[in-house]
Chain A
Amino acid sequence: MIDVLKYLILFFLVFCAVFVARTKDMLSAVIIFAAYSLMMAILWLLLAAPDIAITEAAIGAGVTTLLLVAAVSKTRREE
């Protein structure tokens, strides 16, 4: 059961990574990147690294998203 969840999350990570690069709208790319980080945090937890999971959830999904949104708000939204 856990293995199925792991492979689902891995597939979702590849999916997100491809679409971050392909999306033309910068704000959507930032949101997809936040989803990528959140899934990555769950994967770290499943891989028995709770320390990294906490850091990934705080830095990747939290601070990086806020900083990137601030950067988008100061530049153009379209690529």
Chain B
Amino acid sequence: MEDIIVRYVSRFILPFVQLYGLYIVLHGHLSPGGGFSGGAIIGASMILYALSFNLAEGSKKLSHDVSSILESTGALIFAGMGLISILLGANFLANGAAGFPLGTPGNLFSGGSIAIITFGVGIKVASTMATLFYSLIEEEHSHEHH
């Protein structure tokens, strides 16, 4: 897949896709969308990078080890925020009751722990999308070595 048009168009379009995904993740508690949708968009941008440039360059940007570490980090952020709520003396994933600052509704810095949880879900979903694609494609390589 060495096509100069695909390569230049995707190089031009990739920052906008990733910025849009990041916007959806960070505004998950205010606007439609959230961790899953935004993470899927970021993951799709990584897949597009690996498709339009070659696969080796894609896995240089996001190797298998890094993406599995990111995946665990996302899950740990989610569970960790829930456990912090328990440590603060409320239920699992309790928000206002655990004493997180809720802020003014509608502001970017509001909603207590929801924004952090959404960010964790976004990281998890984005790296899962990339891992899905890489593990589907990379199997071909090990076949060729046989």
Chain B residues positioned under 8 Å from A17 (CB to CB): none
- Residues 27-79 (chain A) with a chain B CB within 8 angstroms: 50-51, 53-55, 58-59, 62-63, 66-67, 70-71, 74
Instruction: Let me know if B40 and A70 touch, CB within 8 A.
Output: no
Cβ-defined contact, B32 with A50, below 8 A:
yes
B77 within 8 A of A: no
Q: Is B34 part of the contact surface with A, judged by Cβ < 8 Å?
A: yes
A40 to chain B, nearest CB (A): 15
What residue of chain B has the Cβ atom nearest to residue A61's Cβ?
B44
**Chain B interface: which size bin?**
10 to 19
Q: Judging by beta carbons under 8 Å apart, are B36 and A63 in contact?
A: no
Interface size class of A (residues with CB under 8 A): 10 to 19
Q: Does B73 reach chain A (CB closer than 8 Å)?
A: no
Q: Is the CB of A63 within 8 A of B24?
A: no
Most A C-beta atoms less than 10 A away, residue of B37, B47, B140? B37
Say yes or no: A58-B40 contact (C-beta < 8 A), given A66-B133, A67-B132, A70-B133.
yes
Distance between Cα atoms of A54 and B36 in the complex (Å): 10
Q: Is the CB of B36 within 8 A of A55?
A: yes
* CB <8 Å contact, A63 and B136: no
Q: Once the chains bind, are A51 and B43 in contact (CB under 8 Å)? A: no
Q: How far is the CA of A71 from the CA of B40 in the complex (A)?
A: 19
How far, in whole Å, are A63 and B43 apart by their CA atoms in the complex?
8
Given contacts A63-B43, A66-B44, A66-B47, contact A55 B129 (CB under 8 A): no
Q: Return A45 CB to nearest CB of chain B, in Å.
A: 10
Q: Which of B34, B37, B51 contacts A66 (CB 8 A)?
A: B51
Given contacts A63-B44, A63-B129, A51 and B33 within 8 Å (CB-CB): yes
Which residue numbers of A lie inside 8 Å of B, CB to CB? 50-51, 53-55, 58-59, 62-63, 66-67, 70-71, 74
